[in-house]
Structure 1
Amino acid sequence: MIDITLDLLLLLMAAAFAAGFVDAIAGGGGLITLPVLMMAGLSPAQALATNKVQGIFGTGTAALSYAARGLVDLRSQWRSALIAAGAGAGGAVLVSAIPTEGLRLILPVILIGIAMFFAFKPGLNDLDRTRRLAPLAFAMTVVPFFAFYDGLIGPGAGAFYMIGFVTLAGYGVLKATAHTKLLNFASNIGGLAAFALVGQPLWLLGMAMGAAQIAGAMLGARLASKVGARLIRPLLVVTSTVLACRLLWQMI
């Protein structure tokens, strides 16, 4: 059991606030909180589990904030959310049974590709475009695939949800962000349920960080709702690139 001093708690809460702000706009909040939790002395499993605890506060707040602004209809998306929760739990349960090293090797390349897509693809704005996949087909294929990944590995899940909504569901960037937060929240809930059985999360620490996540997520969602794609696109490019670089650095 680590000793959580007041200084360490404030540092972790500051990291959670920053993560909530960034994650509400473009995803990638785990880039901030997970390394800080591990530097604080938590084991990898405990850090992952505690990160899920605090993360659900941020993604849940962002989802509700976007819903309150009419950007996502929670009543029409509950089935997709249930699918995401189940798939996220499945990924977390199998985290020690499925070899993920091959996926980790190609993940930086995929993330750099996503960053380049959002950086250079013309016409990416907040307007909806042609839908390439029916809502039911999207919910039955794309949603569980990315949610399973979220439970299994995690980093980059928000970017994957985003590109799925933009390229296949035909959503504008802001609408895609809103729906990404809802499914992120659902797959995080599922992942936390599984991790809680094996990862021994620090619940009080996670909830304290969660309070800071709420504040950051509210601010981020409000700003993204006002500015839209002009803010979301560059921040998504930055977070995807930073995550790719971090993964490459871990391989060295």
Structure 2
Amino acid sequence: MEFASLTIEMYFFLFTIAIVAGFLDTLAGGGGLLTLPALMMTGMPPLAALATNKLQSSMGAATASVMMLRGRRVRWHQVKYLMLSAFIGSVIGTVILQFIDAQMLTVIIPVVITCIGIYFLITPMVDEANKPVRVSSAGYKKFVVPLIGFYDGILGPGTGSFFTLAGRALRGQKFLEATAIAKTLNFASNIASLLVFLFAGHVVWLLGMLMMVGQFIGAWLGSHCLFKIPVSYLRYLVVFMCFAMLIKYVAT
């Protein structure tokens, strides 16, 4: 899909947002809260904004996942079937999305992003207290992970944090373990959704590829800072930038 009405300044803005989102997403999650409103500000159709967001965010998720696997923060045998579950759930969500009226999406997307932003603001993520296992491994793989993957396919922002929260609350994972596993699951759900969008022809390639470069830079920087700096204050930055762009989008 082509979309040629952007200025040089807007391309630079989106490239910068992708760098910031890739960095923050690796550290604190919520990168989609920045990139999706930024893409919507360009005036592109909702499905094109969602599709292009998947293209660029897949690079950040892939970079973070490779760094987690290479650094042995997570092992392949731990996540391969969970990734498949996330993949399947995301495919289903993205296919259903193709049949939702575009005018409805222009209302639904800002409302959901606002709700996720508030969730980010009030939900503590760094909590190292031991958690009991509440869901079996099979139940987690068959129901919880595909459900979060479904959400990623149908919209997306905040998915990485939902995977982290689910791992902590339902499987009793330590925070750092849950964070590392969430990166790989988010990558699987991103790629699944992207494949459907590619088949449907909604991706804006030039813009998406430019933002992919930004995501790679940001995720690479973030992966080298992960586990080394406190991340709680970064969440406030994510929410502030998200709401600022939503206000700008609604005002235009």
Cα-to-partner distance string for 1:219-249 (whole Å, 9 max, x where unaligned): 112212323xx32x44346646876898899
| Cα 1:169/1:103, change in 2 over 3 Å | farther
Out of 134, 137, 150, which is 1:135 matched to? 137
Q: How many residue pairs end up in the alignment?
A: 245
The residue that corresponds to 2:224 in the other structure is 222
Please tell me the residue identity of whatever aligns with 2:168.
V
Deviation at 1:91, TM superposition (A): 0.1
Deviation at 1:163, TM superposition (A): 1.1
Q: Secondary structure at the match of 2:11?
A: helix
Out of 110, 118, 122, which is 2:124 matched to? 118
The residue that corresponds to 1:235 in the other structure is 234
Deviation at 1:96, TM superposition (A): 4.5
> 2 CA distance for matches of 1:110 and 1:8?
25
Q: Secondary structure at the match of 2:51?
A: helix
Out of 80, 83, 86, which is 1:81 matched to? 83
> 2 CA distance for matches of 1:215 and 1:87?
28
Identity %: 34
Listed as ranges, the gaps of 5+ residues in structure 2 are: none
What pairs with 1:60-209 in structure 2 (closer than 5 Å)?
A: 60-97=62-99, 112=118, 115-118=121-124, 124-125=127-128, 129-209=131-211
Q: Secondary structure at the match of 1:168?
A: helix
Q: Secondary structure at the match of 1:194?
A: helix
The residue that corresponds to 2:21 in the other structure is 19
> 2 CA distance for matches of 1:56 and 1:7?
24
> 2 CA distance for matches of 1:49 and 1:22?
21
User: 2:50–2:155: 8 Å Cα contact kept in structure 1?
Assistant: no
Q: TM-score, normalised by structure 1?
A: 0.81
User: Which 10-residue stretch deviates more, 72-81 or 199-208?
Assistant: 199-208
The residue that corresponds to 2:50 in the other structure is 48
User: 2:96–2:154: 8 Å Cα contact kept in structure 1?
Assistant: yes
| Cα 1:251/1:128, change in 2 over 3 Å | farther
> 1 CA distance for matches of 2:112 and 2:14?
30
* Aligned-residue CA RMSD (Å): 3.2
User: 2:33–2:113: 8 Å Cα contact kept in structure 1?
Assistant: no
Q: Secondary structure at the match of 2:171?
A: coil
Q: TM-score, normalised by structure 2?
A: 0.81
